[in-house]
């Protein structure tokens, strides 16, 4: 992976870096109990935490695990406020090292990217009219399938700073079998492992266009048989090199609409997937029954923002939602 980065730890434990990490962590967390407890003696707690990390005395708290349905059952692992500060402090320094190595066709958890950028990118290639078919793949249990020795081969190839890697291993143990969904550090780890597939697709398979959003990949081409061969090659690569498998895959003509990031995408329009609409209707009904107006308004603001990127005039009218 080219250059190795040394002497990073002093930048991680710098007071200004921890202050920035604190500000990033508190966004959206001002009602959480762990934030309120930390905030009571905020600057003192922050300095004590920074000193713990500097002295090598920091120990990550256990994860608080819970399940959500989004749309399938997922195990989410949360951490106390202070541990999220440490993750931000580490990511502030190491994420800019990895970001330039990521290809521009991967859209998850990156500055200037995101779901809507991914959808726009795929639609822009559909409008060229060159691709006739698409391959859609989905890695099975992506985060839980990430193996520590695979992950740390990638970290070790880029970072040559003992104390930095020691802190990284406290957050994500080297002998880990899966990384936690819901952890900031895991987002970077998952993207890093995903670059293995990215580079294989881009430099070896060479479809007309492709995009990845974490565990979801779409490849566009004008030959369905060639896409089938790409699928077989990518599946073998994932199994042998990434130690992952597909949960599902499919090849279909473009006129059926490309299923990606919650939308069905055509060259000139896009629609929300039926699953997204069904989940939204259920959530709205449940919040209305609870008479939780604040939560309902928050949900509607977020969901309509997502939905408004599609052609949804009739949908909003049926739900009596104003755009």
Q: 106-110, 128-132, 213-217, 276-280: lowest mean pLDDT where?
A: 276-280
Task: Please tell me the distance from the alpha carbon of residue 321 to that of residue 323, in angstroms, as a whole number.
Answer: 6
Token pair in block for residue 223:
């030959």
Q: Please determine, for residue 322, whether its predicted confidence score (pLDDT) is greater than 70.
A: no
CA atoms within a 13 Å half-sphere pointing along the CA-CB vector of 232: 6
Label residue 323 by pLDDT band (50, 70, 90). very low
Label residue 306 by pLDDT band (50, 70, 90). low
Kindly state the helix (H) or strand (E) to which residue 293 belongs, with its residue range: helix 293-307
Residue 160: partners with Cβ closer than 8 Å, 6 or more residues away? 4, 5, 6
Which tens digit of pLDDT belongs to each residue from 144-194? 999 999 999 999 999 999 999 999 999 999 998 999 988 899 999 999 999
| Alpha helices for 127-269 (secondary structure H) | 142-145, 148-156, 162-171, 184-200, 224-237
Confidence (pLDDT) at 70: 65
Token pair in block for residue 241:
């090199």
């Amino acid at each position: 992976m080219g250059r190795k980065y040394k002497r990073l730890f002093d930048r991680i434990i710098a007071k200004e870096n921890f202050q920035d990490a604190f500000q990033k962590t508190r966004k959206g967390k001002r009602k959480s109990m762990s934030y309120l407890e930390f905030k009571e003696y905020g600057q003192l707690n922050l300095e004590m935490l920074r000193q713990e990390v500097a002295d090598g005395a920091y120990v990550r708290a256990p994860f608080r695990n819970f399940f959500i349905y989004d749309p399938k059952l997922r195990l989410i692992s949360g951490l106390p406020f202070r541990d999220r500060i440490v993750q931000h402090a580490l990511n502030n320094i190491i994420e800019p090292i990895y970001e330039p190595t990521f290809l521009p066709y991967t859209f998850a958890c990156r500055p200037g990217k995101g779901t809507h950028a991914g959808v726009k990118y795929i639609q822009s290639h559909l409008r060229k009219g060159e691709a006739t078919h698409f391959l859609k793949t989905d890695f099975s249990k992506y985060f839980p399938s990430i193996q520590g020795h695979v992950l740390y081969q990638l970290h070790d190839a880029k970072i040559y700073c003992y104390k930095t890697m020691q802190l990284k291993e406290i957050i994500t143990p080297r002998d880990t079998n899966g990384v936690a969904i819901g952890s900031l550090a895991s987002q970077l780890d998952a993207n890093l492992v995903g670059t293995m597939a990215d580079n294989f697709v881009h430099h070896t398979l060479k479809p007309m266009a492709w995009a990845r959003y974490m565990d979801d990949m779409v490849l566009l081409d004008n030959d369905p048989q060639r896409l089938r061969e790409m699928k077989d090659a990518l599946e073998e690569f994932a199994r042998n090199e990434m130690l992952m498998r597909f949960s599902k895959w499919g090849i279909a003509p473009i006129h059926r609409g490309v299923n990606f990031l919650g939308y069905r995408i055509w060259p000139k329009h896009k629609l929300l997937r039926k699953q997204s609409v069904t989940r939204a209707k259920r959530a709205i009904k449940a919040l209305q029954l609870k008479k939780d107006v604040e939560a309902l308004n928050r949900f509607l603001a977020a969901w309509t923002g997502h939905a408004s990127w599609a052609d949804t005039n009739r949908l909003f009218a049926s739900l009596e939602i104003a755009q």
